A and B are shown apart, each in its own frame.
Chain A
Amino acid sequence: DIQMTQSPSSLSASVGDRVTITCRASQTISRYLNWYQQKPGKALKSLIYGGSNLQSGVPSRFSGSGSGTDFTLTISSLEPEDFATYYCQQSYSGPWTFGQGTRVEIK
């Protein structure tokens, strides 16, 4: 199975900060990397697919980059509604696997 490792596991940031979350795959996954946002009591939300494609309706402050084994999710200027847990996920080969999550908290 392909292991997905996110870093950091959690971070504290302020509104307006630039935030970067890293996801590393245990083997190459081309650009088959997706990002999701989870908030308590709400359905998970797709943010980025194919490494860098912004899901329709997602604010442009979210961006994704990377290919092969190393990927990044960037929030250019953190908004209050962005405090949540973020997961990366590979869809290169089965079983499709997720990172352990990165919790973004208010500083």
Chain B
Amino acid sequence: EVELVESGGGLVQPGGSLRLSCAASGFTFYNYWMTWVRQAPGKGLQWVANINHNAIEQYYVDPVKGRFTISRDDAKNSVYLQMNSLRVEDTAVYYCVRLRFGSTTNYFDYWGQGTLVTVSS
């Protein structure tokens, strides 16, 4: 059974840093792209970042470019999101998501339960 478990969320002041972790199990981790998606309180979903299966390619949504870094450790079946220079508008639940690539479509097939990041003074 595929399982994604996030950790590392919490309260941080504006300008601070936080590192989120996601432990994956139940599948061959190094074969898959991984993603972080966030959801601000009471709001919709926003894709944040992708990392490909060999960590050579990373992609980010514009508001986090230069501040967030996605990485992975295939030996630990884990993906990370290093978040620097945090802003109040980064407050959200952050979901770790497995990305499925097909011949004619790409989609998020498994989601974690999420970890809450609150940026406030």
Which A residues have a C-beta under 8 Å from some C-beta of B?
A: 31-32, 34, 36, 42-46, 49-51, 53, 55, 87, 89, 91, 94-101
A residues within 8 A CB of B27? none
Question: Contacts A95-B61, A95-B62: A34 and B47 contacting too (C-beta < 8 A)?
Answer: no
The reply to whether B109 and A98 form a contact with Cβ atoms under 8 Å apart is no
A residues within 8 A CB of B108? 34, 36, 44, 46, 89
Min Cβ gap A30→B in Å is 8
A residues within 8 A CB of B54? none
B residues within 8 A CB of A32? 105-106
Is B14 on the interface with A (CB-CB < 8 A)? no
Instruction: In the complex, identify which listed stretch (B16-24, B66-74, B83-91, B110-118) lies at the interface while the others stay far away.
Output: B110-118
The reply to whether B111 and A45 form a contact with Cβ atoms under 8 Å apart is yes
Q: Give the distance in Å from the alpha carbon of A94 to the alpha carbon of B62 in the complex.
A: 10
A-B contact pairs, 6 of them (CB 8 A): A34-B108, A43-B112, A50-B105, A87-B44, A98-B44, A101-B45
Chain A binding surface, main DSSP class: loop
> Digit string of B34-59 for contact with A (CB within 8 Å is 1, else 0)?
00000000001111000000000001
Q: Give the distance in Å from the alpha carbon of A61 to the alpha carbon of B99 in the complex.
A: 25
The reply to whether A91 and B113 form a contact with Cβ atoms under 8 Å apart is no
The reply to whether B102 and A49 form a contact with Cβ atoms under 8 Å apart is yes
The reply to whether B110 and A97 form a contact with Cβ atoms under 8 Å apart is no
Chain A, Cβ-Cβ closest to B105: A50
Question: Contacts A43-B113, A94-B59, A95-B62: A31 and B44 contacting too (C-beta < 8 A)?
Answer: no
Min Cβ gap B45→A in Å is 4
Chain A, Cβ-Cβ closest to B100: A49
> Digit string of B89-104 for contact with A (CB within 8 Å is 1, else 0)?
0000001000010101
A residues within 8 A CB of B46? 98
Min Cβ gap B52→A in Å is 13
The reply to whether A34 and B45 form a contact with Cβ atoms under 8 Å apart is no
Most buried by A among B44, B109, B110: B44
Q: Which of A44, A45, A50, A87 contacts B104 (CB 8 A)?
A: A50
Q: Which of A34, A43, A100, A101 contacts B107 (CB 8 A)?
A: A34
